Amino acid sequence: LGLMGAAGAAAGTGLLTTQAALAQDKKFTIALVPGLTTDAFYITMHRGAQAAADALGQDLLFQGASEWNVTLQVPVLDAVIARNPAAILIAPTDKVQLVEPLKKAHAAGITVVCVDTFIGTGVFQTGSGDADFPISYVASDNVLGGVMAARALAKSIGEKGKVYVSNVKPGISTTDQREEGFKKEMANHPNIEILETQFNDDDANKAAAQVQAVIGRVPDLAGVFGANLFSASGTANGVKQAGKQGVVKIAAFDAPQSVVQELKDGTFEIVIAQHPAEIGYFGFVSAFAHLTGNPVPTLIGTGFTVMTKDNIDDPDIAKYLYTG
Ligand code: T6T
């Protein structure tokens, strides 16, 4: 009876219990390939993935390129595939150009999870298209993030004036979606004019030079949306060098430690912090769940924390600053 009871209980609780027990005996290597290694966003994501690896008793391999660049990321991915991990978590640096390189991983039987950025449409496991093989996409809602930035910037410039988006380069799912959300929301603010987007190749120095050039051409520039860490921090530096700090308002995406000062001195109106540790943690857990036979959601959305000069000293807000 006792034995039957145990069997019945196992059957009753289903697949999850049974396979979780089996999984304890398995050791997997799961790789994380970031967009680039020297970015506080991915360093924090790495920390989250490591926390999950430690909790599950699994191995994490972290390997990436030092710059945001497809031609640097693909050889790193090839080298990771050659090490034959059970799964790869990857932030693809281009939604089209990483499809073929990732197909190789899929063909080799390696589970693929997209973290932060996606390939194709980001809608996976539908049985359609040739880029829907990743089992899950774990990320912020980047369109919503762009909408939030637009609302904050519109308010801070008094609902009128000229603004532009400082962005990385076209073809990156996250930053494309942020710009899309920003422009969609700005359509509801008729007295705000959106100037041409400035693309900086993830180079803060370029973003700084660009804002100075725009201020030169458009002296009444009212605001900028810095669509990622380097776009925002570069724009902040450029605005300071132009002596327009607090005059040209900035809505910043991403939260390295430096944003504390930039919020306090009025360079940034608002900072939209992502939760990269959560992305790493749940990316890792998703891959592990899949490898141990458990179903995984095809989309896992992580949240935002909005930072302002009024809340940044609150430890419950400051804990979302990235660890560099
Ligand atoms: O904004 C993040 C990330 O979400 C984006 O895909 C690329 O840029 C960052 O890594 C920040 O630099």
- For residue 98, what pLDDT band results from cuts at 50, 70 and 90? very high
User: Could you identify the atom of ligand 1 that is nearest to the CA of residue 39?
Assistant: 12
Q: Ligand 1: distance of its center to the CA of 229 in Å?
A: 6
What is the arithmetic mean of pLDDT over 110-126?
97
- For residue 8, what pLDDT band results from cuts at 50, 70 and 90? very low
pLDDT(232) > 90: yes
- For residue 324, what pLDDT band results from cuts at 50, 70 and 90? confident
Query: Is there an atom of ligand 1 within 6 Å of 41 CB?
Result: yes
| pLDDT tens digits along 47-88 | 999 999 999 999 999 999 999 999 999 999 999 999 999 999
| Contact call for residues 232 and 263 (beta carbons, < 8 A) | no
Query: Is there an atom of ligand 1 within 6 Å of 230 CB?
Result: yes
pTM of the entire structure?
Answer: 0.93
Residue nearest atom 1 in ligand 1 by C-alpha distance: 228
| pLDDT tens digits along 169-204 | 999 999 999 999 999 999 999 999 999 999 999 999
User: Residue 134 to residues 67, 87, 119, 231, 277: CA-CA distances in angstroms?
Assistant: 24, 10, 9, 29, 20
Q: Ligand 1: distance of its center to the CA of 2 in Å?
A: 54
pLDDT(2) > 90: no
Contacts of 241 (CB under 8 A, 6+ apart): 208, 212
- For residue 129, what pLDDT band results from cuts at 50, 70 and 90? confident
Kindly state the greatest CA–CA separation across the chain. Answer: 84
Residue nearest atom 11 in ligand 1 by C-alpha distance: 229
Contacts of 145 (CB under 8 A, 6+ apart): 177, 178, 181, 253, 272, 274, 304
Whether the complex's predicted ipTM is more than 0.95 is answered with: yes
- For residue 10, what pLDDT band results from cuts at 50, 70 and 90? very low
Q: Ligand 1: distance of its center to the CA of 60 in Å?
A: 21
**What is the distance between the alpha carbons of residues 17 and 12, in angstroms, rounded to a whole number?**
9
Q: Ligand 1: distance of its center to the CA of 256 in Å?
A: 11
User: Could you identify the atom of ligand 1 that is nearest to the CA of residue 276?
Assistant: 4
Query: Is there an atom of ligand 1 within 6 Å of 174 CB?
Result: yes
Query: Is there an atom of ligand 1 within 6 Å of 211 CB?
Result: no
Number of Cβ atoms within 10 Å of the Cβ of 121:
14
| pLDDT tens digits along 249-278 | 999 999 999 999 999 999 999 999 999 999
The reported pLDDT for the residue numbered 16 is 55
Q: Ligand 1: distance of its center to the CA of 17 in Å?
A: 36
Share of the chain above pLDDT 90, in %: 91
- From 39, 93, 201, the mutation candidate for ligand 1 (largest count of ligand atoms within 8 A of CB) is 39
The gap from C-alpha 257 to its chain's centroid, in whole angstroms, comes to: 17
Q: Ligand 1: distance of its center to the CA of 293 in Å?
A: 31
Contacts of 53 (CB under 8 A, 6+ apart): 30, 59, 60, 284
Q: Ligand 1: distance of its center to the CA of 321 in Å?
A: 14
Sign of the Cα pseudo-torsion (235, 240, 245, 248, in order): negative
Q: What is the DSSP string of 72-125?
A: HHHHHHHHHHHT--SEEEE--SSTTTTHHHHHHHHHTT-EEEEESS-STTS--S
**What is the distance between the alpha carbons of residues 119 and 287, in angstroms, rounded to a whole number?**
17
Tokens read off for 50: 């490591």
| pLDDT tens digits along 19-41 | 554 555 689 999 999 999 999 99
Query: Is there an atom of ligand 1 within 6 Å of 28 CB?
Result: no
Residue nearest atom 12 in ligand 1 by C-alpha distance: 229
